[in-house]
Copies of this chain bind each other. A is one copy, B any other.
Amino acid sequence: MAYETSDNSKTWAVVAAIVVVVFAAIGWLIFRPSGEGGAQGPGGATLTRMPGDANSIIKNRQMSPEDVLAALTTYMPSGKHDDYMMFASGGHGGQVLVIGVPSMRLLKVIGVFTPEPWQGWGFSEETRAVINGKAGDGTDLLWGDTHHPALSETNGEYDGQFLFINDKASARVAVIDLRDFETKQIVKNPLAINDHGGAFVTPDTEWVIEGGQYAHPIGGKYASLADYKKSYRGLVTCWKFDRKKGSIDPSKSFAIELPPYWQDLSDAGKLVSDGWIFLNSFNTEMATGGGEKKGGVWFEAGTTQRDMDYLHVINLKKAIATAAAGKTTTINGFRMIPLQTAASESILYFAPEPKSPHGVDVTPGGEYMVVSGKLDPHVTIFSFQKMMDAIKNKSFSGKDPYGVPIFDFKKVVEKQVELGLGPLHTQFDDKGYAYTSLFLDSAVARWSLGGPYEKLHSDKPWTLVKKIPVQYNVGHLAAAEGDTAKPAGHFLVALNKWSVDRFANVGPLLPQNLQLVDISNPGDKMQVLYDMPIGIGEPHYSQIIKADKIKAWDVYPEIGWSPVTQSKSPKATTVGQERIVRNGNTVEVFMTAIRSHLNPEHVEVKKGDKVIWHVTNVERARDATHGFALFNHNLSLEPGETETISFTATKEGVYPYYCTEFCSALHLEMTGYLLVKP
């Protein structure tokens, strides 16, 4: 690992810092408020006194000048709001993390694929129906492996309305509404067992793209690995998003069958490349593993034989037209453009890309596709125009075994820039720089773009400008609006996979380390500002949006709101309408919650009764959330919200129910008794 400063220079930095604060202390001594019980400002009001001076804090804490600047840059005074909001996947935690930038404070975890009782996610009838997943063995699926969040876009820029995220483990895509930061829909891919290269949106969010991962027989059939080349396939799925309804329409969506390479990260074209999508792939060797067998080769060796894999270049507009023309086959009720059709209809092309690539990232203007081959020290920059020229001129170097035309690498590549070991993912700023994560180097590389970006910086184009170490094993990067048509610059977050020695020891399972990097200055000036431990999931990718683009609700629009439908619930109960309705062996409770009582406080049923219980929070004050706990249920009822639980009263007894949110001074008194009579 490379460090920037030697021990001597660190000592020098500390000395410099101490001198700096001596001057600061002089300034303080001259201008500080004076007096015994608190000093007088010009207005005569009492100033709160200092807990000590900056000098002694910096000295005692042995802070370097860089530490001081980082502290001042990232600290968020009480009541001031972060400039940016980062949406990070939670990996195999199955959720989405919302993080304030630059303070790097976790503002919220959004329940997506995994039930989470604090927010009541999956603990009401309504939200459980959204999760409602089944695993391949028929059991309830109560987790997901979230990888790539995608904010909705308008004209290639984040618009702050929706967030999409995939589940790699079970090939699902979720839709989150950013008016209330809740998941509204989860679609299961009817053809795929797993995914990876999603979710990515087209520049106006008409389509949500879900790329595949490990090849398998399409639609869930069995086939022997001996028949891999014939029976296994890759896949990319284009989900049609209805912005007005806020949901994906599977009936208007379709997939494209791909060769059994392992498709990886993907990105949508924008501006000049609008209408195209790009997917990496690896294991174009079509290795089938089995290292445990005599003569067998582990996947890690078998998938890394070739020097080149294939960037999949897909004409989305043509694919949409082809699907609309009915040139699809239907499997499990879902439309798919067959591989032969994709090749023959000029939907699919391959560009050779070195070696076992991971990320593909489109430049802000859409001109270039930047690919990182994780076993190659370069980033490879493809020219969209050159690829279009090759298609126009029918200039190909050949076809793959499935008949897909392959570009001549030299004719479509713009540049290659050597960065270091293990390049993975690239983001962009507003100054004509790109940033690439280097997993094996544990570093972030800033390099200069050429072409139309050359005028934005004073560095030589297509050149490594600076590498800074991060701790450790960086996966994705996220720059502020750094994958949009208009990157913000300013901040970048390195999503490091290992933290090793960075944090106090919390046992053998360590947090990840998300490091905030200042990228606001050009040239070789970059600084790691902050280490944020993540001990609740493993963020793969994240996106950072300007916070003022998010227009979230303070409270739900009206009393009796169902967040799942984003409309008034038919089971909404208003004050005075609370009731218990018996119909045979079914008892239906219509309850309200308000500080500080639940109405009703007594519910009597008979053993064996089926009980359906609706609770409406009738509060209108912001933050006046109530909870409702009974048996295996916990509801979180935000102001105006209606949710439902149901159960069978299988056992006689007395069961207190209560509000689980500390809502008022008499919160503990906000309770009632369910009596199950013999």
Contact = CB atoms under 8 A, between A and B. Distances in A.
Interface in A38-56: 38, 41-54
A556 interface: yes
Interface stretch (A138-146, A310-318, A328-336, A446-454): A138-146
Given A291-B601, A524-B38, A510 B135 contact: no
A115 B66 CA distance: 41
Nearest to A118: B93
B649 A137 contact: yes
Given A21-B24, A289-B671, A631-B139, A596 B300 contact: yes
Contacts of A506: 85, 98, 107-108, 181, 550, 552
A398 interface: no
Interface stretch (A73-81, A151-159, A267-275, A406-414): A73-81
A1 interface: no
A131 to B, nearest CB: 12
Interface string A371-404: 0001100000000000000000000000000000
Chain A contact patch, size range: 35 or more
Nearest to A424: B665
A90 B117 CA distance: 10
Contacts of A291: 597, 599, 601
Interface stretch (A340-348, A428-436, A654-662): A654-662
A264 to B, nearest CB: 7
Contacts of A22: 27
How many copies of this chain does one complex carry? Answer: 2
A282 interface: yes
B623 A500 contact: yes
Interface in A295-336: 296, 298-300, 303-304
A569 interface: no
Given A136-B655, A216-B673, A507-B638, 11 more contacts: A11-B41, A51-B521, A51-B527, A63-B77, A71-B71, A74-B75, A78-B528, A293-B602, A374-B665, A504-B550, A538-B662
Nearest to A509: B638
17 contacts: A6-B45, A50-B65, A51-B520, A58-B72, A78-B528, A78-B530, A91-B118, A100-B533, A106-B536, A119-B509, A136-B631, A137-B632, A137-B651, A214-B671, A216-B655, A504-B550, A538-B661
